[in-house]
C-alpha cells in the first residue's frame, strides 16, 4: 500500500495518449441564433483554449483569444457570457475566486472576489428569537445577499494581468444578451425548479418565465436589461455597480425586495447599504501550495476552504501508491482522506480577516501524517470526525469535538482558459443557490446572490468555536477550489475546478487523483463517476458507482454507508501537452455536457 520511493512524477507523459480532436468557436453571432454552437467535451490544438459549461460562453472566450487577448481577457469575456447563458449559476450579482498562472514569471497569483456581509451584520444575522430562521426563508430574501464581488474581480484581474479593456471584453456578452441564446434541457429544468420562487418576483418572472410559462427547449431567451447593464459597465467601468446607478438599484432591491402583489412568501429585507458596495475590495492572496507526486498543486486560500482541504487530502494520500491499489481501496482511501479534511476545515477555516486560520499547519506534511495514521484498510472512521490540531500535530490524535459539515448551495460554475503565451486561468464564480436569491434587480437583468447563507446560522455545537459565523464585512467560507498544477520547472501541467457547493472539494480531489494516479485522460477523469464524503455518516455516490453492487457491498462490508446523488459537480479543465498543444476538457453528460474549444484545432 505504501508508495515506492522509486516512483517518479512522470504523469505528464499520460497526455501523449490523448485523442487529437478539436472544437473551435463558430463565427460571432450578430443576429438571433438559429441553433446553439456545437458542444464537444474535449478539444486539442494551438493558440489557446477555453473550457466552460456552455458553448456560447466558451465561444466568447475563444473570440477574445483569436483577437489577440490573453487568458485573463478570455476568462473575463467567458464569465460575462456565462452571466447571460448560466444566470442561475453566476453573474455580476455574485462573486468568486480567480487563480492565474503568469507564464513570464512562472508564478501563480489569486484574487479573492468573495461576497461580503453588510457592515451591520453580526453572529445573529440569521437568528430570530435566538433560533435560526428556516433555510428556505433565508435563501429567498434580502437577508442572504452579500456585496457582489464579480465585477471587482474582473477589474482587479484585468488591471494586474489583462491586455484588453473591460469595455472590449464585455461586447460578446452584451451581444449575446441582446440577441439571445437557445434554451436547452438543463436551463429549462433549472427554471422549473425555481418556477415558484420566480413567480413571486415580477422581474424574475418576466425574464425567466416568458409569457408566464416555462421556456421551451429550442426557444430563444433574450435579456435586453442585462445588455443595457453591460453597456453601462462598458461605458462607465465597474464603478457604476459599486457607486453609481446600478449600486443604487441593488441596494433598493435588497432593502425592499420587489415581491409580487398577493405573494404569500415571507421575504425578509436585507441591510446592505451603498457604503457596503462603495467600500468593497477584492483581496490578493498567497495561493495554497502542496507537493504531490513531484508536482506542485496551487489552490485558493481562505476565505475559501478549497485550497487547504484539497491540499490536506492530497498530503494524506501522498503516502499511498494509488496507481497500484484496487478500485475498492482507491475509493476507500479517497473517502477517508476527504472525511478527515472536512473535519479539519470545519474547525479551522474561516475568513482570515476575522479568524486565525493555520494555513501552513493545515498544509504541512507533518499534520497530514498525523491524520493519515487514522486510516485503516479494513475499517471506516466515524462521522462526524473530530478535528486534529495543525498547530501541534500529534499522531492519530483528535482535538476538541466533532462538528457536522453545514449545507452549501450546489450551483456555481467554473471556467478554465489558456493562451498562446502559456498563461492559464482557473476561475470559479457563483451566485450560490441555483437561481441565487431568486430576486432579479428591476431593470438590470441579473439575479442577486444568496451567498451569506454559506455562513453557519448558529454554532453546530455551542461548546466548539465556529470560524464561519457571520460578522461585519466578513466573507463566508466557501468550498470553491480553482486549481493549477505545475511541474518542478514551474510550467503548467493542468488546471481545473468545478461547481457543486461542498462537493467541489471532493470533485477536484477525485479528478486530480483519477488523472495523476489512476492514469485516466483528463476528459475521462472529469467524466468518471464520483463519490463525495464531507465528514458525514454517509458518502454520496453517483448512479454508476451506486449501481456497482459488488463494489458497494465490499465497501459496506468494512463499514461504509452510502446514499445516492444523481449528479455531483460539473468540472472543466485544461492540460498542457508535451508537444506544446493545449487540451481543453469538460463534462460529457453532467448539466447537459460542457464545451471545450481551442483557437486552432488539431485535425
Helices (H), 452-531: 503-516, 522-527
Q: Which three cell numbers stand for residue 599?
A: 483557437
Cα 241 vs. chain centroid, distance in angstroms?
Answer: 23
Closest of 545, 594, 424 to residue 493, by C-alpha: 424
Q: Are 53 and 416 in contact (CB under 8 A)?
A: no
- What angle is formed at CA 311 by the lines to CA 309 and CA 317, rounded to 5 degrees? 105
CA neighbours closer than 13 Å in the CB half-sphere of residue 505: 31
What are the Cα distances from residue 342, in Å, to 139, 219, 310, 506?
24, 42, 10, 10
Q: Are strands 295-299 and 288-292 parallel, antiparallel or unpaired?
A: antiparallel
Closest of 447, 589, 450, 444 to residue 524, by C-alpha: 589
Q: Are strands 492-497 and 483-486 parallel, antiparallel or unpaired?
A: antiparallel
> Within 10 Å of residue 288's Cβ, how many Cβ atoms?
28
Counts for the chain of helices (H) and strands (E), in that order? 20, 20
CA gap 312, 314 in Å, rounded: 5
Catalytic option among 282, 288, 308, 412 = 412
**Is 412 a known active-site residue?**
yes
CA gap 51, 55 in Å, rounded: 9
What are the Cα distances from residue 193, in Å, to 88, 163, 309, 435, 438?
11, 40, 31, 9, 11
CB-based burial, 109-118: b 16+ in 10 Å, e otherwise: bbbbbbbbbb
Q: Which three cell numbers stand for residue 405?
A: 459539515
Cα 134 vs. chain centroid, distance in angstroms?
Answer: 25
Cα 537 vs. chain centroid, distance in angstroms?
Answer: 24
Closest of 64, 60, 278, 28 to residue 158, by C-alpha: 64
CA gap 369, 394 in Å, rounded: 9
Q: Are 408 and 455 in contact (CB under 8 A)?
A: no
Closest of 365, 400, 362, 369 to residue 384, by C-alpha: 400
**Which residues are identified as catalytic?**
412
Amino acid at each position: 500500500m505504501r508508495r515506492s520511493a522509486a516512483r517518479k512524477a512522470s504523469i505528464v507523459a499520460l497526455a501523449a495518449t490523448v485523442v487529437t480532436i478539436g472544437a473551435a468557436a463558430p463565427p460571432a453571432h450578430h443576429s438571433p441564433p438559429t441553433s446553439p454552437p456545437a458542444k464537444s467535451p474535449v478539444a486539442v490544438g494551438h493558440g489557446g483554449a477555453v473550457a466552460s459549461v456552455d458553448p456560447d460562453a466558451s465561444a466568447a472566450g475563444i473570440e477574445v483569444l483569436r483577437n489577440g487577448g490573453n487568458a485573463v481577457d478570455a476568462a473575463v469575456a467567458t464569465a460575462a457570457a456565462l452571466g447571460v447563458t448560466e444566470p442561475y449559476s453566476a453573474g455580476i450579482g455574485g462573486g468568486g475566486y480567480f487563480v492565474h498562472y503568469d507564464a513570464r514569471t512562472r508564478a501563480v497569483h489569486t484574487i479573492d472576489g468573495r461576497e461580503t456581509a453588510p457592515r451591520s451584520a453580526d453572529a445573529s444575522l440569521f437568528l430570530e428569537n435566538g433560533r435560526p430562521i428556516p433555510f428556505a426563508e433565508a435563501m429567498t430574501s434580502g437577508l442572504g445577499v452579500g456585496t457582489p464581488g464579480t465585477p471587482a474581480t474582473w477589474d482587479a484581474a484585468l488591471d494586474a494581468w489583462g491586455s484588453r479593456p473591460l469595455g472590449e471584453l464585455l461586447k460578446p456578452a452584451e451581444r449575446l444578451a441582446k440577441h439571445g441564446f437557445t434554451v436547452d434541457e438543463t436551463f429549462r429544468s433549472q427554471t422549473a425548479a425555481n418556477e415558484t420562487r420566480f413567480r413571486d418576483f415580477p422581474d424574475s418572472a418576466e425574464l425567466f418565465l416568458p409569457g408566464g410559462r416555462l421556456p421551451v427547449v429550442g426557444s430563444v431567451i433574450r435579456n435586453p436589461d442585462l445588455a443595457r447593464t453591460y453597456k453601462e459597465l462598458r461605458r462607465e467601468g465597474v464603478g457604476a455597480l459599486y457607486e453609481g446607478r446600478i449600486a443604487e438599484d441593488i441596494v433598493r432591491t435588497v432593502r425592499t425586495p420587489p415581491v409580487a402583489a398577493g405573494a404569500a412568501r415571507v421575504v425578509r429585507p436585507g441591510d446592505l447599504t451603498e457604503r457596503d458596495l462603495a467600500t468593497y475590495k477584492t483581496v490578493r492572496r498567497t495561493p495554497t501550495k502542496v507537493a504531490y507526486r513531484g508536482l506542485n498543486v496551487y489552490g485558493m486560500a481562505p476565505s475559501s476552504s478549497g485550497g487547504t482541504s484539497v491540499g490536506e487530502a492530497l498530503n494524506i494520500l501522498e503516502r499511498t501508491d494509488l496507481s497500484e491499489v484496487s478500485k475498492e481501496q482507491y475509493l476507500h482511501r479517497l473517502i477517508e482522506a476527504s472525511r478527515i479534511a472536512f473535519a479539519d476545515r470545519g474547525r479551522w477555516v474561516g475568513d482570515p480577516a476575522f479568524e486565525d486560520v493555520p494555513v501552513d499547519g493545515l498544509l504541512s506534511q507533518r499534520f497530514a501524517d498525523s491524520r493519515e495514521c487514522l486510516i485503516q484498510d479494513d475499517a471506516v472512521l466515524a462521522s462526524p470526525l473530530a478535528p486534529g490540531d495543525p498547530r501541534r500535530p500529534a499522531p492519530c490524535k483528535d482535538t476538541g469535538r466533532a462538528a457536522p459539515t453545514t449545507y452549501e448551495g450546489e450551483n456555481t460554475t467554473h471556467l478554465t482558459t489558456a493562451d498562446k503565451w502559456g498563461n492559464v486561468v482557473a476561475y470559479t464564480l457563483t451566485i450560490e443557490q441555483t437561481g441565487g436569491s431568486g430576486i432579479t434587480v428591476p431593470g438590470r437583468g441579473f439575479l442577486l446572490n444568496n451567498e451569506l447563507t454559506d455562513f453557519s446560522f448558529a454554532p453546530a455545537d455551542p461548546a466548539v468555536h465556529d470560524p464561519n459565523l457571520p460578522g461585519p464585512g466578513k466573507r463566508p467560507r466557501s468550498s470553491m477550489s480553482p486549481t493549477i498544477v505545475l511541474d518542478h520547472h514551474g510550467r503548467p501541467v493542468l488546471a481545473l475546478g468545478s461547481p457543486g457547493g461542498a462537493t467541489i472539494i471532493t470533485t477536484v480531489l477525485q479528478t486530480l487523483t483519477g488523472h495523476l494516479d489512476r492514469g485516466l485522460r483528463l476528459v475521462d477523469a472529469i467524466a468518471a463517476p464520483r463519490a463525495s464524503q464531507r465528514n458525514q455518516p454517509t458518502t454520496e455516490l453517483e448512479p454508476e458507482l451506486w449501481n456497482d453492487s459488488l463494489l458497494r457491498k465490499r465497501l459496506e462490508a468494512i463499514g461504509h454507508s452510502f446514499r445516492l446523488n444523481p449528479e455531483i459537480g460539473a468540472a472543466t479543465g485544461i492540460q498542457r501537452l508535451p508537444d506544446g498543444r493545449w487540451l481543453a476538457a469538460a463534462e460529457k453528460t453532467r448539466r447537459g455536457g460542457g464545451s471545450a474549444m481551442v483557437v486552432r484545432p488539431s485535425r
